Structure 1
Amino acid sequence: MQHTLTLQQLGDLVDPHNLITDSYQKAYYCKGFRVGHGDALAVVLPETLLQLWQVLKVCQQNDTIILMQASNTGVTGGSTPHGNDYDRPVVIVSTRKIKGVQVIDNAQQVIAFPGSTLTELETSLKPWNKEPHSVIGSSCIGASVVGGICNNSGGSLLQRGPAFTEKSLFAQIDDSGELDLINHLGIDLGSTPEEMIARLEAGDYTTGTAPDWEGKIWADDYAGVIKDVDATTPTRFNGNPQYLHDSAGCAGKVIVFAVRLATFDATPQEDTFYIGTNDEQVLLELRRYLIEQLDTLPIQAEYIHRNAFRLTLRYARHMFLSIKRFGPAALPALMQKKARWDALVKKLRLLPHNTIDRLIQWGNYIMPSTVAPRLLSYHRRYEHHLMIKVARDEVPQMSRLLTAYFATRNGEWFHCTQAEQKDAFLVRFGVGACTVFYCEYAGINTDDRLIAFDVALRRNDDRWMIRLPPELQAQVLEDSCCGHFFCLVNHQDYILKPGVDSVKFKAAVLAYLDQRGAKYPAEHNIGHLYHASEEHQHHFHQLDPTNSCNPGIGKTSKKKHWA
């Protein structure tokens, strides 16, 4: 009876197509991009901030769990149900339809609504010759701006650091169970939730006048952190107390309505240097050499291992070609179409569940990759690949330093053409999904056999690769490694052989990483794969004392009041 009342009240607020209760239609929202799945009473898609507020009130009044979801591009299952052992019904609130970017303060800042994506933000800023915190190549498929803040996402842009702001508008369920709208944007929007929402949506406010206008809206100290190459700690990691503030690092424990962020001057022209070697020490020494010698840090320094390159060319070719032809903005819609086709196949029960994935991979097999020939040549010849992107006026210094460095070391480099630069970073972008596509094609359960490590190594670490002992390596079917190399953030995926105990395998690898002084996760957030640190759990308890929002995150309690 209570469930019926909840659904009826939600149905009174949104259009019928924005309240999903059919199990096949819910599947896209109930399953993570990489891992995690569970059931939900309903998926609701509000179209305005006011509808979002009203939906939250219904959930709070009916004592349902609120699971916020933006683009569902996370890789640790943090925005989907995890199992079916919750003590209250789960309602997934998808914000993907609540778009909106407001450019303010002479384009020095923006206010982003919960459904806005990084691609949309990038497009909004182009007329102002500005860029956001993250751009294509340092973000997930269709990743949301707010999701990045909630997860302290890292990204690959060396001069900007992890996603962070002290300024946001968010809803919170307090310790008495009441729903409050907290305005920490540093902008006067009025006193009641309805007034604040109406004025924000209409742009009816002034900037720079509120007493709390000033505050940190990006990780402005990060370049200095990278330059300290002798430090015994990582550059960044999820749960770092320095970057836990209100919405920042909240992991869905509050409901974010808007965030205020910095913008950055766009680089007029960018050039990329592509480096190949068969010795990881050559790259580690190069990292230190360039950080110490360069006048300005590069824009990006991205690593790909030969295995990751191979798997991407074979299993993520459709993603590479789709972005190349249609642009990154088209990917979320393509993913939704695939999800609907998957649901139709499952509903018909006449074909294997992964029929669509098999068809995609058949297409990948027969289609040419169109990757630039010099990149393919390096793939054949070298195990380790590094792409360093710099501003055009920094090309002469980078060329001199690389020439001097490789005069006495094993390896080669070349200055990319614009076409080669585009291909290189599209391959790097596709690496993040190549193991998922492999598993989907092969019918492998990613929850059981795809083990991913998102690792922040010490800044003075003398090793880059995660080298497994023979007894662990023998349990691996395929592996893929990429990362943000100057940040020493390593993304390592393992697809395990059938019958391997994934829990024991993961524990053994984490013990090895602990010995190296690494922190994890580095930037993908804890989701349901990692234990939240004490500092992170304290942040969660402060934000959500009744444990009504995204319970269980970071392997914490799923019970009401954290029982």
Structure 2
Amino acid sequence: MLMLRRIHLQPGLMARHVSSKPGKRSFSLRAVCGAGLVGCGAGYLLSRMDGQLRERQLPGAGFRVCCEEMITPKQQALPNELRGIVGKQHVVENVTETGTMVGKGHAMVVVRPGTLQETMKVLEACLNAEVAILPQGAKTGITGGSVPRPCDRPMVVISTQRLQKILPIGDEAKQVLCFAGAGIFSVQETLKPLNRDSHSVLGSIFLNPSVAAGVAFGSGGTQIHKGPAFTNRALYCRVDANGQLKLVNTLGLNAHEDVVAFLVACHQDNAQALSSKDMDAKCTRAASWPKYPQHLTKLDGQVSRYNADLTGEDCNRSEGKVFILATIHDTFPMPQESKMVWVSCKDFATANHIKQKVALASPNCLPKQFEYMGREQFDCVDQGGRGIIKLIEMVGMSNLGTLWNFKLKFESLPLPFVNIIADKLLWYLNSAIPESLPKPLMEQGRKFDHHLIMEMTEFGNGELKQLDERLQRQLALNPGDISCYVCQDAFEKSRVMLFRFAVQPSIQTITVGKGRQGLIIDYAMPKNFDRILEMPKDCDIEMRCLCSHFGCNVFHESLMLSNDVDVKEVKKRIKQVIDEAGGKLPAEHGHGTEYEAPCSTQERWKRIDPTNSMNPGVGHSSSLKGYL
């Protein structure tokens, strides 16, 4: 008998296990690294040998409902109807979906349409059957927003993974049209031969998260001159108050009779680009955050970006309350020259001074990326991240997604310890893998407590020289307090960025390895906030890993906690500290199931999805039909 389980995931808590202390709960972060797939059998044996790790079932919310008692005739007939639309090989029934780091839920059906027309037909069929609809991209989010969750109707996941068309626009490709399932790494690779750079680069780029999800969840990334994922040029579907599907078209294409049919033809004809003639020259809608460099360098009491910002077209930060079909994004010129430096400082004040006097001194001369990493985060990556870095080196960025998807399927199996095998194995193997950075840089990293990763780029106006001169002046003023390592070649640059991208996998590996609780929080502090946020007292934090998209003042806290504390209570106290300091939480990962969206955001979601048909329950909103 098919059953729906209602499970309340506590904010910040990931895969769970029991500590060795009777009566105490211990929760460990979910595995993210696909490297652990190699040798799963060995990891299983190691896990069984570890007396601290004993599998535990998630607590229910007090009731269970049988699908056969609730399902309507239309819902019962829906899977066959969907097969008739997309083909039987693209419809799977009774699926358990596992989130990247949070969530594990049941979907009545997972359907993968292959065209925009099919997608709209699938949406209409789902609305007619009165099921809950969950849009899903690459499922790389870390707050559970794209994982099924219990509600008062069966849930259907509509995956965009077959909608991956990427169409550069015009001969100069200053903009690009992306179907919903296109990955940001794929966009980057498509634009390289055209000497253009993509609109976004995330820490999870090696998992190729989808462009539409970036828009829907307000992802930010490392590129401080580009701003967060944002566009007012989109094609998306919403549901009106009568439960009918409505198509919203703000793409700015020339007046085709049927924009969906036009794009489907581009897809089926294997078009490689759109002509500038296909675009409405009068369209002035923004395809990136307007004047973001000017906004960023105005060091006032406002935050640079956050998930509850209501700016822009309704598709932005909609978190699945509308279904995005396609978006247009600005692209950026590729730099003529690039210089990557790793600057280490004795204190945070020095690091913040460099940010103000070097990185953000002028909106017309920004580094491409400017990242911060604390000492404990440096040690964490070294102690738990060597495996993921080595794996990317071995298989390449483009192949890691396949391993990742297999890992998620493996971890959803109803077997003991599957959710900790990968990280447990990586924990034991980490010391056997060579250090990830050049030896001089590893020594510098261990000598100082605060680190800056800055990529200075040249676009033809002397930007690199200006930035370098500013940096050299600061180095000369503080010769004993600062050390600067210049990457010698492309390989060293790639190692530095992989080290930065391994931040979250590494904390999960260490947390699982040591059998501790874990908590991840992302937040934005005011642009003039010039210190490290002080954590609440008595939280029993055993390791505080802090990194930041420093130019934007967006921080990521990865905390390893004692097994004796209540993680939910710790997160509540940290949120209060952030609010009192003028910060916003979350900053770029979306509310998902981890954060409660503010009233203004929930009211917006009700306006754009008045029947609560799309992604019900996101942001701690109501999961009931019509929000009743």
TM-score by shorter chain over 0.5: yes
Whether the 8 Å CA contact 1:170–1:181 is kept in 2: the answer is yes
Matched with 1:400 is 469
CA–CA distance in structure 2, aligned partners of residues 251 and 429 of structure 1 = 24
* Cα separation, 2, equivalents of 1:258 and 1:312: 36
What secondary structure is seen at the aligned counterpart in 2 of 1:275?
A: strand
Match of 2:398 among 329, 348, 370: 329
Query: What's the counterpart of residue 54 of structure 1?
Result: 121
Match of 2:296 in 1: 226
- Alignment CA distance shift 1:10-1:437 (3 Å): farther
Deviation at 1:302, TM superposition (A): 0.6
Aligned-residue offset at 1:425 = 1.1
Change (3 A) 1:428 1:498: same
Q: How far apart are the structure 2 equivalents of 1:314 and 1:34?
A: 20
Report the number of matched residues.
Answer: 544
What residue is the counterpart of 1:79 in the other structure? 146
Q: 1:425 matched to which residue of 2?
A: 497
Q: Counterpart of 1:383?
A: 449
| Equivalences for residues 56-71 of structure 1 within 5 A | 56-71=123-138
Partner of 1:559: 624
Q: 1:537 aligns with which of 595, 602, 616?
A: 602
Alignment correspondent of 2:250:
184
Query: Distance between the aligned counterparts of 2:252 and 2:160, measured in 1?
Result: 23
What is aligned with 1:460?
528
Q: What's the counterpart of residue 483 of structure 2? A: 412
194 and 296 in structure 1: CA distance in 2 versus 1, 3 angstrom threshold? closer
Decide whether the 8 Å contact of 1:154 with 1:161 is kept in 2.
Answer: yes
Q: Which amino acid letter does the alignment assign opposite residue 232 of structure 1?
A: G
Q: CA RMSD in A?
A: 2.4
The one of 319, 326, 329 aligned to 1:251: 319
**Preserved CA contact (<8 Å) 1:136 1:328:** no
Residues 336 and 293 (structure 1), Cα distance of their counterparts in 2 relative to 1, 3 Å cut: closer
Instruction: Please show how residues 93-492 of structure 1 align to structure 2 within 5 Å.
Output: 93-106=158-171, 107-135=173-201, 137=203, 139=205, 141-188=207-254, 190-191=256-257, 195=261, 198-199=264-265, 201=267, 202=269, 207=277, 210=280, 213-229=283-299, 231-242=300-311, 244-291=312-359, 293=361, 296-343=365-412, 346-347=413-414, 349=415, 354-392=420-458, 394-409=463-478, 410-418=481-489, 419-441=491-513, 449-463=517-531, 465-472=532-539, 474=540, 476-492=541-557
Gaps of 5+ in 1: none
Return the offset for 1:292: 5.8
Partners of 1:189 and 1:199 within 8 A in 2: no
Q: Deviations over 1:471-515 (max 9, x none)?
A: 12x2x2433211111111111122322242122111111111112
Match for residue 109 of structure 2?
42
Deviation track 1:226-285 (CA, whole Å, cap 9, x = no partner) reads 2112x111111112222x312112111111110011111111221112111231111111
Identify if the C-alpha distance between structure 1 residues 518 and 212 changes in structure 2 by more than 3 Å, giving closer, same or farther: same
Query: Which residue is 2:30 aligned to?
Result: none
Q: 1:481 to 1:139 in 2, by over 3 A?
A: farther
* SS in structure 2 at match of 1:13: helix
- Structure having the larger proportion of residues in helix: 1
2:50 corresponds to which residue? none
Structure 1, residues 173-229: CA drift from partner, whole Å, max 9, x if none?
Answer: 111111122222111464558635534535698746548632111113110012112
Q: CA deviation at 1:36?
A: 2.2
Report how far residue 171 of structure 1 moved.
1.3
- Measure the CA separation in 1 of the matches of 2:161 and 2:613: 21
- The percentage of counterpart residues that share the same residue type is 27
Partner residue in 2 for 1:512 = 577
Instruction: State the 1:288 CA deviation.
Output: 1.3
Question: 2 CA distance for matches of 1:48 and 1:363?
Answer: 44
CA distance in 2, matches of 1:205, 1:398: 37
- CA–CA separation in structure 1 for the residues paired with 2:404 and 2:232: 33
For residues 187 and 279 of structure 2, the distance between their equivalents in structure 1, rounded to whole angstroms, comes to 25
The 8 Å contact of residues 207 and 404 in structure 2, kept in 1 or not, is answered as: no
Q: CA–CA distance in 2 between the matches of 1:441 and 1:45?
A: 36
Q: Distance in 1 between matches of 2:310 and 2:169?
A: 29
Is 1:8 the counterpart of 2:80 in the alignment?
Answer: yes
Give the deviation of 1:554 after TM superposition.
1.4
Query: Against the structure 1 CA distance between its residues 44 and 443, is the aligned structure 2 distance closer, same or farther, given a 3 Å change threshold?
Result: farther
Give the TM-score of the pair, scaled to structure 2.
0.81
Structure 1 contact 170–183 (Cα < 8 Å) conserved: yes
Distance 1:228 1:547 in 2: 39
SS at match of 2:358: helix
Question: How many angstroms apart in 1 are the aligned matches of 2:440 and 2:77?
Answer: 62
Alpha-carbon distance in 2 for matches of 1:494, 1:179: 43
User: Do the aligned partners of residues 353 and 137 (structure 1) sit closer, same or farther apart at CA in structure 2, a change above 3 Å counting?
Assistant: closer
1 CA distance for matches of 2:563 and 2:422? 23
- Cα distance in structure 2, aligned partners of 1:486 and 1:389: 12
Question: 1:122: how far off?
Answer: 0.7
Letter of the aligned partner of 1:267 in structure 2? P
The one-letter amino acid of 1:70's match is G
Deviation of the 1:442 alpha carbon: 5.7
